[in-house]
Amino acid sequence: MSRRLVLLATVASVGAFASLAAVSSARAADQLTEVDAVVVTARDRNAGLLEKQPNDTVFGLDKPLIETPRSASFVSGLTLQRYGVETIDDLTAVSPGTYTASFYGVPGALNIRGTLAENYFRGFKRVENRGTYATPIGAAEQIQIVRGPPTPIYGSGKVGGMLNFIPKSGKGEGGYLEKPEGEITLTYGSYNKKDATAQVGLPVEVGQVIGGVHLYGEVEDSHSFYHGIYPRRQTGQVSADFDLGGGWSVALGGMIYRSQGDVQTSGWNRLTQDLIDNGTYVTGRDTSLVDADGNGRLTPGEIGYYPYASALYLAYFGSPTTDAAHTLDTGVGTTKLSPRTVYVSAADFSKTATNTLYFDIGRKLSPDSSVKLQLFYDALENKRFVSYGYPAWFDSDVWEARLTWDFRNEAFDGAVRAQSFVGASYRAFDGRRRESFNSGLIALDRRDLSYGATATDIIGSPFNPGDGVQWENDNHSKWTQAGVFFTTDISLGERLNLMLGGRYDDYDVTSEDVGYLSYTVAGVQKAAKGKGTYTASVSYKAPFGLMPYMTYAKASALEMSQAGDIAPGLVADASDAWLSDSDLAEAGVKFQWLKGTLIGSLAGYRQNRTQLTGINAAPTGTRAKGVELEVRWLASDHFSFTFSGNSQHTTVKGPDKSFQYIPVYTAGVSGVDGYGGAYLVWDFTSIRPGDYDYTLIPKSVVSLYGAYASDQHDWGKVFATLGVTHVTKTSGTVPGAVVYPAYAVASGSVAYEYGPYTATLNIDNLFDELYFTPVADTYANLAALPGKGREWRVTLARRF
């Protein structure tokens, strides 16, 4: 019997045992009469399954998630630790419909329902992050995963999903802290992982002013599973909340984040099915190109005339071609490759700085109405170089102001009740995106990973002025978005509920690319347009703890590049390609059974939206449909279980006009004759006409976890978590692409708590399963990232 089957049998046996225990024991959960949310927080001792507090994330109105007609999951900081979630890519363990193809090994954004989601901070959209840096989650009190479009109050956005990060604050469960409290943690783990955090919450009371302040800091200096990647990150966060008296309240704070070493890696190159199935790697190097000036890298003059005759690619027009630079002429053979050996060199780097600030001021006008003004600012600067030939420098910031009036009213002696808000917002972006790739100085397969980086597979960059490489794209982009919005939640009697929302935005966009070889329309490009979006939902509180619902939403959003900018070619397009449309139809049922100790949701959806694909960032339509199931069960005082799973199918709508790199076998060339360079098609329809399946995302991801919490004893308390995530096969997108087999990864944790001290052991990939994640974006058919093998870490915590 395989390890996978053993694990599934083990979890099933634990579930059966827990069911018997639940029947025979006197449970504190029997006293629960209602569970108002399908959320995961730190408020119950079994790793945080049940939460009864309303939340305004999904629609902007305080409403329990179990009564919200939309699919969503909330995850607390404690659950993240117990379930071994260190990055947003690991959220597949706790939320259905989430899986992300590798953005070069850097977990910046999550894929939800087959397309990329957007990151929010306290309900405000952050600057775009598609693998630019590892999105920090340690400072989050809660991560909220919403499937579908954002609520109208949050601004325009694509359907698919969003991640909302709620920072730690100076509030406790029942309100503000009554006394100072804090925690210090130290973590050490495999591959020399070292991390330290410190946080403190302080109550504030000065005259009529009461509130709380929370400070958080984190420092990481680690190696990693992958040779040559050494992440170093620092996070600082402060939040303050105050009631000023007279109905006034204020909230303010911010987060700073710095990182070095989040180096992008494509993983394994020279993909073949034999490499994935058996680990057999084709070796060999090309020696026809030489580092003549001895600077340790290939510069344009050592290849040809820059920028028009220095390319390392050959275009594919239906018949095989090769040249001397593409041919491997030394060290040709095969070998076995370690999953720890990936595409990286000492010349690669990535440096990131982000600054996030917020300020809220509000006043309670009456028991049924309030007004709030919110300000938000987010800035990103990133410099990075990937040695196969991709340098980039992003420098962007965005600010937003939002004014909201919340109010309640009722009619017909309370038979019809409504809670609503109306408001206005203004958002302004200013950014600059510098990249170099248009001259074709890129060759992902050129490096022999078994030999290591050499001077003739490290490409020059604009960060080294003497190399002669220029910033081929240098896009300056500014845009503003002024909008008005509303949402109303209408209860008709005690069972029927109707939610309506919408917004209208005026967009104004200006972009100009002054790059050395931008291949886009010249000069300043301007465009302006107004667009409306809306959402409508109906739900019914049926007997037997069921609440069926239906939702339809139509949305619009800006087509942003990696730095949050908008490409001039899109702005100049007569069809307004810079502003996309998307729509969602969703139907489902929320349920709560066993006196509220078993809660969950089942949802089916169909959505249409766009995504930017290829080197030329062409807007391409997608159509997705799927079914998602999420269950949370507090089986007894000691045992709890979670299940999340989905079945989905995403189709790329043709024609896909994107510019794509293709593998040598698609070009009809052998590895020995082609790995020294690259092959591409100017138009992907030449090999993929019409619609095609988006196979970089698995058809199904299923996670099952069980948790145990002991009683409190004189000697302390013990917690344990065990779970497995199963992922179906994926593949590239070209015909006859390499297939990555299905896999199952198990994770577990054990924690011991004694007084203010806690020691936690986490083990990820318990059985050291070898698996692969396809690379997203332009090189999806050229590379795949081996999954991390077994890793462990021990965290010591002291509360005070």
Least confident piece of the model among 74-78, 387-391, 505-509: 74-78
- Beta strands 678-681 and 313-315 are parallel
Q: Are residues 168 and 293 in the same domain?
A: no
Question: pLDDT tens across 301-319, in order?
Answer: 999 999 999 999 999 999 9
Residue type, 8: L
Give the pLDDT confidence score for residue 99 in this predicted structure: 87
Residue 173, pLDDT score = 65
- Interval 163-175: pLDDT, tens: 999 999 988 666 8
Question: Is residue 769 in a domain?
Answer: no
Could you tell me if 546 and 673 lie in one domain? Answer: no
The rounded Cα 334 to chain-centroid distance in angstroms is 36
Whether 699 is covered by a domain: the verdict is: yes
Q: And the tokens for 77?
A: 């900081």
pLDDT for residue 49: 59
The DSSP annotation for 43-95 comes to TSTTTS------B-TTTSS-B-GGG-SS-EEEEEHHHHHHTT--SGGGGGGTS
183 with 247, same domain: the answer is yes
In the numeric block, the tokens 């594919």 are attached to 316
**What's the confidence (pLDDT) of residue 745?**
97
Q: 585-604: string of b/e by CB count within 10 Å (b at 16+)?
A: bbebbbbbebbbbbbbbbbe
The residue out of 690, 708, 735 marking a domain boundary is 690
Whether residues 241 and 360 fall in one domain:
yes
* DSSP character string of 582-606: EEEEEEEEEEEETTTTEEEEEEEEE
Task: Say what percent of the chain tops pLDDT 70.
Answer: 93
CB atoms within 10 A of CB 659: 18
Strands 525-540 and 546-558 come out as antiparallel
Instruction: Looking at the structure, tell me whether residues 683 and 633 fall in a common domain.
Output: no
- Shared-domain flag, residues 498 and 603: yes
Instruction: Please list the residues that pair with 629 across neighbouring strands.
Output: 602, 645
CB 547 within 8 A of CB 528: no
What's the pLDDT tens digit per position in 107-161? 999 889 988 899 999 999 999 998 899 999 999 999 999 998 888 999 999 988 9
The least confident of 71-80, 210-219, 689-698, 700-709 is: 71-80
Lowest model confidence (mean pLDDT) among 139-153, 274-288, 436-450, 567-581: 139-153
State the pLDDT confidence band at 514, using cuts at 50, 70 and 90.
very high
What tokens appear for 618 in the block?
A: 């062409």
- Alpha-helix residue ranges (DSSP H) falling in 171-243: none
CA angle 34, 598, 59 (to 5 degrees): 65
DSSP single-letter state for residue 687: T
Taking only Cα atoms into account, the Rg of the chain, rounded to an integer number of angstroms, comes to 27
Q: Regarding predicted confidence, which is higher, 46 or 160?
A: 160
For 662-677, the pLDDT digits (tens) are 999 999 999 999 999 9
Put residue 747 in one of left, alpha, beta given phi > 0 → left and psi -120 to 50 → alpha: beta
- Kindly indicate the confidence band of residue 53, based on its pLDDT and cuts at 50, 70 and 90: low
* Residue at which a domain ends, from 665, 690, 715: 690
Clarify whether residues 162 and 179 are in a common domain.
Answer: yes
Mean per-residue pLDDT of the chain: 91
Predicted local distance difference test score (pLDDT) of residue 115: 85
Strand partners, 484: 424, 504
Residue given tokens 């040809």 in the structure block: 304
Q: Is the pLDDT of residue 46 over 70?
A: no
Q: Which pLDDT belongs to residue 101?
A: 79
Whether residue 355 sits in one domain with residue 214: yes
Report whether 293 contacts 384 (CB < 8 A): no
**pLDDT (average), residues 268-274:** 98
Residue 768 falls inside a structural domain: no
Q: Report yes or no on 770 lying in a domain.
A: no
User: How would residue 218 be classed by pLDDT, with cut points 50, 70 and 90?
Assistant: very high
Cα-based distances in Å from 370 to 62, 211, 362, 363, 502: 13, 19, 7, 6, 20
Number of domains within the chain: 2
What sign results for the dihedral spanned by CA atoms 170, 171, 176, 178?
A: negative
Give yes or no for residue 77 having a pLDDT over 90: no
Domain extent at residue 94: 3-267+342-436+471-653+691-763+776-799
Most distant CA pair in the chain: distance in Å? 87
User: Which has the closest alpha carbon to 457: 383, 516, 386?
Assistant: 386
Residue 381 within any structural domain of the chain: yes
Query: Averaged over 78-96, what is the pLDDT?
Result: 89
Sequence-ordered list of residues with C-beta below 8 angstroms from that of 768, at least 6 positions apart, any chain: 789, 790
Among the candidates 690, 714, 741, a domain finishes at 690
Distance CA 392, CA 434 (A): 5
Q: Give the tens place of pLDDT for each residue, 362-402.
A: 999 999 999 999 999 999 999 999 999 999 999 999 999 99
Is-contact 350 232, C-beta < 8 A?
Answer: no
Q: Is the pLDDT of residue 782 over 60?
A: yes
- Phi then psi dihedrals of residue 24, to 5 deg: -90, -15
Helix or strand (DSSP H, E) at 273 = helix 273-278
CATH of the domain at 698: 2.40.170.20
The enclosing H or E element of 4 equals helix 3-24
The model's pLDDT over 621-630, given as tens digits with 9 standing for 90+, comes to: 999 999 999 9
- Selection from 684, 770, 799 nearest residue 735 by Cα: 684
Residue with the two structure tokens 């399946």: 693
Q: How far is it, in rounded angstroms, from Cα 234 to Cα 245?
A: 36
What is the structure's pLDDT at 785?
97
**How far, in Å, CA of 360 to CA of 153, rounded?**
15
User: Residue 31 and residue 572: Cα distance in Å, rounded?
Assistant: 63
Measured between alpha carbons, how far is 112 from 586 in angstroms, rounded to an integer? 14
Are 696 and 730 contacting, i.e. CB atoms less than 8 angstroms apart? Answer: yes
193 with 282, same domain? Answer: no
Q: In the block, which residue shows the tokens 């993929």?
A: 688
3-state secondary structure of 729: coil
Q: Are residues 328 and 212 in the same domain?
A: no
Same domain, 542 and 667: no
Strands of 436-570 (E only): list them.
473-492, 496-513, 525-540, 546-558
Residue 494 reports pLDDT greater than 50: yes
- The answer on pLDDT for 27 being more than 70 is no
Residue 439 to residue 311: CA distance in whole angstroms: 6
Q: Is residue 624 part of a domain?
A: yes
Enumerate residues 6+ apart whose C-beta is below 8 A from 32.
Answer: 50, 595, 596, 597
The CA distances from residue 79 to 46, 75, 141, 708, 723, in Å, are 9, 6, 10, 13, 13
Given a cut of 50, whether residue 19 has pLDDT beyond it is: no
Indicate whether 564 belongs to any domain.
yes
Same-domain check for residues 346 and 336: no
